[in-house]
Amino acid sequence: MSVTSAQSKWRPHTRLGWWAVGLMIAYVVMYIITMAVIALRLSLPPVYGIFMLLCGLAAGIVGLIAITRQHERSWLVWLTLLPGAFVLFLLLGEFLVPLIFPELAH
């Protein structure tokens, strides 16, 4: 296997693929900052959390579009589906659990 072949498996080839990877990196960095702030018992503005979740969801959506419509096969772009799925799972749980189990709502 040549070096160019190995590089082509992880590097995105489309512009949407690079956007998805950039949004995923932004989400991961913001998540790490959030965990550090929580460990230090400090607080962040709510807009920060909303922006972080939007970055994760956008990374997943843009990555999915790059994979389906532009036939992107980079494993970094496939990896962008994880933050999108995590945020989607979090939002669905936040909105559906009170409807299904009203006694668990806070």
What are the tens digits of pLDDT across the range 6-55? 667 889 999 999 999 999 999 999 999 999 999 999 999 999 999 999 99
Determine the average pLDDT of the residues in 53-80.
96
Q: Does pLDDT of 2 surpass 80?
A: no
Report pTM. Answer: 0.86
Residue 33 in domain: yes
- Locate the DSSP E strands across 4-96: none
| pLDDT the model gives residue 59 | 97
Q: Please answer whether residues 13 and 79 qualify as being in contact, where contact means their C-beta atoms are separated by less than 8 angstroms.
A: no
Average pLDDT, the chain: 91
- Is 1 a residue whose pLDDT tops 60? no
Tell me, yes or no, whether 6 lies in a domain: no
| Interior/surface letters 67-98, b for 16+ CB within 10 angstroms, e for the rest | beeeebebebbbebbbbbebbeeeeeeeeeee
| Host domain of residue 48 | 14-104
Categorize the per-residue pLDDT at 68 as very low, low, confident or very high, splitting at 50, 70 and 90: very high
DSSP three-state, residue 106:
coil
Query: Is residue 3 included in any domain, yes or no?
Result: no
Total structural domains in the chain? Answer: 1
Q: Is residue 61 part of a domain?
A: yes
> Quick check: is 70 in a domain?
yes
Residue 5 belongs to a domain: no
From the CB of residue 66, how many other CB atoms can be counted at a distance below 10 Å? Answer: 26
**Phi, psi at 18, each rounded to 5°:** -65, -40
φ and ψ at residue 101, rounded to 5 degrees: -125, 80
Judge contact between 74 and 9, C-beta under 8 A.
yes
Domain membership of residue 18 (yes or no) is yes
In a domain, 7, yes or no: no
